[in-house]
Structure 1
Amino acid sequence: MNTLLNVIWLLFGGIWLALGYFAAGILCCVLIITIPFGIASFRIGLYALWPFGRTVVDRGGQVSFFSTMGNIIWLLVAGIWIAIGHVLTAIPMFVSIIGIPLGIANLKLIPVSLMPLGKVIVETRGTRIPQYR
């Protein structure tokens, strides 16, 4: 099911969203001081390309000062605007029944787009449905 949802996601906006994150990552890597933001943009872009079956978790351990300061800078410069963009693109996705999982996936991208440093994207395990006899 995740593969089918990922293909639909890819066709109906995921590719453009990922390309936007990749373009921002390239721009951030060209400007040497913003390389950590570029790496975060590439990571979010890969997540935006194929979001179903994966989730975002906090990186284990203590959060560093630089990660916190980077997240504050990211939040003020780009994070708020990216989150607003995700909300505005999720709203039309919720209009159709087929688009509801896509809207949820779009909203799932908001936490990592607000504060990307100190986060890791991991595979989720499939949930088992208990069998009753």
Structure 2
Amino acid sequence: MRLLGNIIWFVFGGVFIFFEYLWGGLILCLTIVGIPWGLQAFKLGIAHLAPFGKHVVPTGGSIPVISFLLNVVWIILAGFWIAVTHLLFGILFCITIVGIPFGLQHFKLMRLGFYPFGYDLR
């Protein structure tokens, strides 16, 4: 099921979302200040390639205060809108029986997109 779900996800949007996050990450990495957020955009892009079979887990290697502050800036500038988009797509996909697995993936990615610092998709 994971392989089939990941193939369908990749073909019908995962690759496009990956390139959007890749482009955004490259633009953010052009400035020294934006590098931490650009790296998180790369992480989110890779997570959107094949989300089936993966779980959001704490990384455990970061300093909680710094992760919190970086997440606050992320939420204000982008995270809120990323989370709302995933919420809406998750609800739309869960309306149909066939789309429920894809809706659940959007709900999982919503959590990672809202506060990416200190968490990873493994």
- TM > 0.5 between the two? yes
Question: Which residue identity is paired with 2:106?
Answer: N
Structure 1 residue runs without a partner (length 5+): 123-133
> Cα RMSD (Å) of the superposition?
1.5
**Which structure has the larger Rg?**
1
State how 1:71-90 maps to structure 2 within 5 Å: 71-90=71-90
Distance 2:106 2:49 in 1: 11
Distance 1:48 1:115 in 2: 15
Corresponding residue SS for 1:94 = helix
Is the helix fraction higher in 1 or 2? Answer: 2
Cα deviation for residue 48 of structure 1 reads: 0.8
Q: Structure 2 vs 1, CA of residues 16 and 69 (structure 1 numbering), >3 Å: closer, same or farther? A: same
Distance 2:109 2:59 in 1: 17
Cα deviation for residue 61 of structure 1 reads: 5.4
State how 1:45-56 maps to structure 2 within 5 Å: 45-56=45-56
- Say how many residue pairs are matched: 122
TM-score w.r.t. length of structure 2:
0.90
Cα deviation for residue 63 of structure 1 reads: 3.3
Corresponding residue SS for 1:49 = coil
| Native 8 Å contact 2:62 2:118 kept in 1 | no
Distance 1:120 1:47 in 2: 9
Corresponding residue SS for 2:10 = helix
Cα deviation for residue 39 of structure 1 reads: 0.7
| Native 8 Å contact 2:112 2:120 kept in 1 | no
Cα deviation for residue 121 of structure 1 reads: 2.1
1:59 corresponds to which residue? 59
Structure 1's consecutive aligned runs of 4 or more residues displaced over 3 angstroms after TM superposition are 61-64
2:23 corresponds to which residue? 23
Corresponding residue SS for 2:57 = strand
Identity %: 37
